[in-house]
Amino acid sequence: MRVQSPSLCRRLFGLTLIAVCAGGAVHASEIKGLQLNAGATGTRAEIALDAPGEFKVISLAGPDRLVIDMPASSVSPTLSLPAGAGVVTSVRTGKPVPGTARVVFDLSQTITALKPRIEQSGNGPVLVVEWPGDGASAATPAAAIAVSPTSAQAPSAASTAAAAQMMAPVAAPTPTRVDTAASAEATSRLISQIAAANAAASARELANRPSPQAAMPGMVAVAPSPARAAPPPVAAPPAATPPVKTIQQVMQGQGMRPLVIAIDPGHGGQDPGAIGKNGTREKDVVLAISKELARQINATPGLKAYMTREHDVFIPLNKRAALARAAKADMFISIHADAAENRNADGSSVYVLSLRGASSQRARWLADKENSADLIGGARMSANTTLASVLLDLTQSGHMKASEDAAGQILDGLKRVGNVHKPNIERANFAVLRTSDMPAMLVETAFISNETEEVRLKDPAFQRKVAGAVLDGVNTFFTRQPPPGTMFAARAAALETASASITAGGSP
């Protein structure tokens, strides 16, 4: 047997190493698609990959950009880059170093993206990047409000009576239909009444001030001589029409913020939820109802919707609450469709979190079923779950009363549009409701296991009806407990001022 020389061995080893590296390059991740969408909840980018891999996120300013570097990745030569949408003005790709793929999102403003994450879709893994926002550029333009000047000489009684008349419907909002034009008109009147009240107060203050002659007793007032007649008045040119402002611009000018309602369509992705007798999947119908609810909320002055998912994707239960907190939501509503062994069970239900057990055996069974969604999706439980749960229980208890009040209002709204399964709110330890910093509830819209209600759940008319009932409860809750700095608080203040003025004035 012939002994090979050391140099030949080194050459063979080098060729082997090159072959191994080349084989690894063949199996490297590739960016095969890129989509960009802007909706009512903000801007969402989806980077389709042929295999999951590591990524690094870099935020840059001057100009504002978000950069994603993916080591051991490449860009498909057939990749088509989308046009700008939402806060993203354009998208670029590049290769900063060999073997690394880079995607650059040019932004129109300074905004912090939610933490990017890898989701599983029907076509493989997708890297998702989201920028929260109100979607004003992509959604249907909000109703416009014309803020016109109001005369300072208007009688205060008339203005307060008009304000009281305007505020009267707020105490009992319409349960099923959201009239955008009427809401915009009411908002316009509200701003005008506030401006009129301020102008009237300024006029009264000027009228009550002593004149310079009265302030100086040594001066003698001399009456003007009516020797010459005053010239005829000259007609003033018509005042220019004030610029039309949107509801969002008026709210910003008044220092008011919208109330953010987080809508969480249950299940999604590889977790279909309950399935009806005719094959209807819970994840599909609750997404449709959630989108309708978001549409109605965004059409309501003073409210803004945020959806934890707008597509058929799986999101772990704890991630849903985290997304709502990142969007600074004021309320969290998880939408589901119930199921039971009894095919005749029907009606809607509303659940809140309980830290001391369930209010019924069915509530406990439903919480266990919903909490198992993470096992279907493959999410891991943290090693510190017990400690985190204890700490969460301590902070969550402060929002239990608000959750019960809000859930009660939503249940009352559902009672006005259809039958309910239980007359009172139910309680159980739902993992998705452990938000710790906002009122949270879970709404079971109907029983998908009931063949009649399965058909209704797919009906757009029924979806609008249920969404309107939920919105009615949200409106009633925030009207009775308006957070400071919101349009609901401004309405409450205007109503209180009008009521006080009428009481002080007495009867004629």
Q: What is the mean pLDDT of the chain?
A: 73
Counting Cα atoms < 13 Å in the Cβ hemisphere of 432 gives 29
d(CA 289, CA 460): 8
In 3-state terms the chain splits into helix, strand, coil percentages (rounded to 5) of 40, 20, 40
pLDDT tens digits, one per residue of 346-369 = 999 999 887 665 445 555 545 555
Q: What is the mean pLDDT of residues 208-233?
A: 49
pLDDT tens digits, one per residue of 89-144 = 999 999 888 889 999 999 998 888 888 888 877 778 889 898 876 544 433 333 33
Question: Is it the case that residue 8 has pLDDT exceeding 70?
Answer: no
d(CA 246, CA 176): 24
pLDDT tens digits, one per residue of 267-325 = 999 999 999 999 999 999 999 999 999 999 999 999 999 999 999 999 988 889 889 99
Counting Cα atoms < 13 Å in the Cβ hemisphere of 368 gives 8
- 196 pLDDT tier (thresholds 50, 70, 90): low
Quick one: pLDDT at residue 115?
Answer: 84
In this structure, whether the domain defined by 26-132 belongs to CATH 2.60.40.3500 is answered with yes
**66 contact partners, CB below 8 Å, separation of at least 6:** 57, 58, 59, 60, 104, 105, 107, 113, 129
At residue 13's C-alpha, the angle toward residues 10 and 14, to 5°, is 85
Helix (H, G, I), strand (E, B) or coil at 364: helix
| Cβ atoms within 10 Å of 478's Cβ, excluding its own | 25
Q: What is the mean pLDDT of residues 56-63?
A: 88
Quick one: pLDDT at residue 159?
Answer: 39
- 252 pLDDT tier (thresholds 50, 70, 90): low
| Cβ atoms within 10 Å of 420's Cβ, excluding its own | 17
Question: Is it the case that residue 475 has pLDDT exceeding 60?
Answer: yes
Q: Where in the chain is the domain with CATH 2.60.40.3500?
A: 26-132
How distant, in Å, are the alpha carbons of 422, 461, 471, 485, 487 from that of 174?
A: 23, 17, 10, 24, 18
Q: What percent of the chain has pLDDT over 70?
A: 58
Quick one: pLDDT at residue 149?
Answer: 38
Q: Which of 87-96, 248-257, 369-378 has the highest mean pLDDT?
A: 87-96
For 362, the enclosing helix (H) or strand (E) is: helix 361-371
Quick one: pLDDT at residue 404?
Answer: 87
CA 218 to chain centre: 67
Helix (H, G, I), strand (E, B) or coil at 390: helix
pLDDT tens digits, one per residue of 140-192 = 333 333 333 333 333 344 434 433 443 444 343 444 444 445 544 555 555 55
- 503 pLDDT tier (thresholds 50, 70, 90): low
d(CA 190, CA 184): 10
- Which has more confidence, 257 or 201? 257
The CATH architecture assigned to 258-484 reads 3-Layer(aba) Sandwich (3.40)
d(CA 317, CA 367): 12
Q: What is the mean pLDDT of residues 322-338?
A: 93
d(CA 189, CA 384): 53
Largest CA distance in the chain: 139
d(CA 258, CA 260): 6
Question: Is it the case that residue 458 has pLDDT exceeding 70?
Answer: yes
At residue 96's C-alpha, the angle toward residues 92 and 98, to 5°, is 125
**345 contact partners, CB below 8 Å, separation of at least 6:** 338, 421, 447, 449, 450
**163 contact partners, CB below 8 Å, separation of at least 6:** 190, 193, 197, 494, 495, 497, 498
449 in Cβ contact with 345 (< 8 Å): yes
Q: What percent of the chain has pLDDT over 90?
A: 31
Q: Where in the chain is the domain with CATH 3.40.630.40?
A: 258-484
Question: Is it the case that residue 391 has pLDDT exceeding 50?
Answer: no
d(CA 471, CA 248): 19
Is the previous residue joined to 63 through a cis bond, with omega within 30 degrees of 0?
Answer: yes
**132 contact partners, CB below 8 Å, separation of at least 6:** 41, 42, 111, 114, 306, 326, 327
